Amino acid sequence: MDTALGTPLEELLAPICHAHGVELVDVRKLREPAGAVLRVILDRPRPEGALGSTISLQDCSAVSRDASAALDVRDDLLSGHYRLEVSSPGPERPLVRRADFERFAGRPVSVRTQLPVGGQRHFQGTLLGLVEDEVRVDQDGDMAAIPWDLITRAHLVVEA
């Protein structure tokens, strides 16, 4: 799992996002049946405890326009044809960086690992935070300590 901005795509896109007053949550190159997709997820920093995203269609359009122009100049970063998708994180925001696991402590999460930890690969419960190199999740009173290096996907879960 990525620990910080550091890939060439992230280094190119993060300043564009910052210039528009939003943060780069995630960028992924995907292969889909219709072809290659570059998916860029934005969010806006909000006060501690505030829920939901304040990303607008205008934010996505502005970042998409500037990102597209920058990617055209840096054609070495992506080969072939691709579709650029820029969106808000939605209610089940992905948790990608270490800071995400601290920022969203106390919220319901889902975490998947590449290898079993304590006999399981899927954890769902309340995020307790990040302690050293372990993400801590309370699963109905049982605390799971998940090694950072084993996490493949993590996201917030909408409370029913």
Hey, where are the domains in the chain? 8-87, 98-156
Question: Under a CB-based contact definition with an 8 Å cutoff, are residues 70 and 90 in contact?
Answer: no
pTM for this prediction: 0.80
Q: Can you give the pLDDT at residue 3? A: 40
Measured torsion, CA atoms of residues 19, 22, 28, 31, in degrees rounded to the nearest 10 = -90
Model pLDDT, residue 156: 95
Predicted pLDDT at 51: 58
Exposure string of 104-119, with b = 16+ CB inside 10 Å and e = fewer, is beeebbbbbbeeebee
Which neighbouring-strand residues pair with 29?
Answer: 38
What CATH homologous superfamily does 8-87 map to?
RimP-like superfamily, N-terminal (3.30.300.70)
Whether residue 134 contacts residue 113, with contact meaning beta carbons closer than 8 Å, is answered with no
Per-residue pLDDT of the chain in tens (160 residues, 90 and over written 9): 444 457 899 999 999 999 999 999 999 998 888 888 999 999 987 655 555 568 899 999 999 999 999 999 988 888 778 899 999 998 899 999 999 999 999 999 999 999 999 999 999 999 999 999 999 999 999 999 999 999 999 999 987 6
- CATH 2.30.30.180 is the classification of domain 98-156: yes
DSSP-derived pairing of the beta strands 108-117 and 35-43: unpaired
